[in-house]
């Protein structure tokens, strides 16, 4: 039994190493977007907000200060049944052209955010839809950088980078490094022409493509998935028209979770989408990574318990994991100007083993809390 475990661990460690190196190639293949061009298409920036009175003002200000033609820009904010002052704050910017939509749904549902975005798209005037979140901030060239790349690539859907910033603790800095890894995986998949993931805090797509795909129809039973699951719908028909904006100007900044409970709740929500992927290759990729971490966890516990015969296998697998992850994430930290975070990689690499096993199970069972709601 121990020998079988050792062989399986060696096999899956090699598979993991090859996958990460393949992803590293995908990131390298994406051309850095540096040249900005004058935008020609109308843009609607859409934000679904719920109880964001502490953040929404900063986000609105960031968007209104963009170096982007005002006549081409429309900002729509949908208040998702907030019970704080979110709507009142948004209304303060009415004279500056900010539009407010208030959801007033009586029946209980699971996908409020998708409903909010759909409502905004139904009445927006932009040819390009850009979604972000109510707790984000952007540099002044964010919009022109995203739209320039969108038009240059003739994209149907464009994913752009999201980075945590302004960390207040060791735990938040650890999340920043881990989140860079996730953003890098999404970008690398696009670079390899095998789109897997993206982030709705910085996502652009053509309005006519949204309509052609039937919007969120077929993926609206989950609270999450307005980004990844819609990406997969587009990728199923137009994989070559999906791009990534590899520009530091295009980065959207947001906050890490302040504590373990909120972090687990967020990642559980993200993981809940995985079984809904139509692309079986993406599901197989996720399962392979999860099995590798399960094997590594079991083998590590056996080694600690005194089963020394597999100690060298565990050590080799851990070393391989750390090396390929360093090779993958080093250019990502350089891109985000956060190279100092590499010192946290050994801790993150070890913590990831337990975390991925736990979230892989928890994310696919039961309900979770999101914005004060119990959803699935």
Domains and CATH numbers, the chain: 2-26+280-370 (no CATH), 31-259 (3.90.550.10)
Average confidence (pLDDT) over 124-150: 96
Is pLDDT of 36 > 90?
Answer: no
In this prediction, residues 40-47 reach a mean pLDDT of: 95
Q: What is the mean pLDDT of residues 344-356?
A: 92
Distance CA 58, CA 73 (A): 18
Question: Given this model, what pLDDT does residue 276 score?
Answer: 64
Decide if pLDDT at 44 tops 90: yes
pLDDT in tens, 185-235: 999 999 999 999 999 999 999 999 999 999 988 887 776 678 888 999 999
Region 55-78: mean pLDDT is: 96
Q: What is the mean pLDDT of residues 141-159?
A: 95
Residue recorded with tokens 């989140």: 179
* Residue 108, pLDDT above cutoff 90: no
- Give the model confidence (pLDDT) of 298-332 as tens digits: 888 887 877 665 778 888 999 999 999 999 999 99
Tokens representing 216 are 């969120």
* Dihedral-angle region of residue 215 (phi above 0 means left; psi in -120 to 50 means alpha; beta otherwise): left
Q: What pLDDT score does 242 carry?
A: 97
- pTM to 2 decimals? 0.91
Is residue 278 pLDDT above 90, yes or no?
Answer: no
Strand partners, 133: none
User: Rounded to a whole number, what is the largest CA-CA distance in the chain?
Assistant: 72
What is d(CA 110, CA 222) in angstroms, rounded to the nearest whole number? 6
Which structure tokens are listed for 326? 């360093």
Map tokens 């003002």 to a residue: 57
pLDDT score, position 317: 92
Neighbouring-strand partners of residue 48 = 78
Rounded Cα–Cα distance for residues 256 and 85 (Å): 23
The full length of the chain comes to: 376
Q: Which of 137-146, 251-260, 294-303, 307-316 has the lowest mean pLDDT?
A: 307-316
pLDDT attached to residue 71? 94
Q: Please, which residues bridge with residue 158 across strands?
A: 204, 243
For residue 284, the model assigns a pLDDT of 80
CA 207 to chain centre: 21
């Amino acid at each position: 039994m121990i020998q079988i475990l050792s062989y399986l661990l060696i096999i899956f460690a090699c598979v993991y190493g090859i996958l990460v190196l393949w992803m590293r190639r995908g990131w390298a293949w994406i051309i850095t977007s540096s040249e900005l061009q004058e935008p020609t298409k109308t843009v609607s920036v859409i934000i679904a907000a719920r109880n964001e009175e502490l953040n929404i003002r900063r986000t609105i200000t960031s968007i209104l200060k963009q170096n982007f033609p005002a006549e081409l820009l429309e900002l729509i904010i949908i208040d998702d049944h907030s019970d704080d002052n979110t709507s009142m704050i948004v209304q303060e910017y009415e004279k500056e052209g900010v539009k407010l939509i208030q959801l007033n749904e009586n029946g209980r549902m699971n996908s409020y955010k998708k409903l909010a975005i759909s409502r905004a798209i139904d009445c927006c005037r932009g040819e390009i839809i850009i979604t972000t979140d109510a707790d984000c901030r952007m540099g002044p060239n964010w919009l022109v950088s995203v739209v320039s790349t969108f038009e240059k690539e003739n994209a149907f859907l464009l994913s752009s980078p999201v980075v945590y910033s302004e960390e207040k603790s060791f735990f938040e800095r650890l999340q920043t490094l881990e989140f860079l890894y996730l953003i890098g995986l999404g970008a690398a998949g696009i670079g390899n022409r095998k789109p897997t993931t993206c982030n709705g805090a910085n996502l652009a797509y053509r309005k006519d493509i949204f309509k052609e795909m039937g919007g969120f129809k077929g993926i609206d039973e989950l609270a999450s998935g307005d980004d990844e699951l819609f990406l997969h719908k587009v990728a199923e028909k137009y994989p070559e028209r999906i791009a990534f904006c590899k520009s530091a100007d295009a980065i959207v900044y947001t906050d890490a979770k302040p504590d373990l409970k909120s972090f687990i709740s967020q990642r559980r929500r993200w993981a809940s989408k995985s079984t809904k992927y139509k692309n079986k290759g993406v599901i197989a990729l996720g399962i392979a990574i999860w099995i590798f971490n399960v094997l590594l966890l079991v083998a590590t516990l056996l080694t600690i318990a005194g089963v020394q015969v597999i100690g060298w296998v565990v050590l080799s697998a851990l070393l391989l994991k750390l090396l390929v992850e360093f090779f993958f994430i080093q250019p990502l930290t350089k891109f985000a100007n956060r190279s100092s975070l590499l010192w946290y990689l050994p801790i993150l690499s070890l913590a990831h083993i337990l975390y991925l096993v736990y979230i892989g199970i928890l994310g696919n069972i039961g309900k979770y809390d999101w914005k004060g709601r119990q959803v699935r």
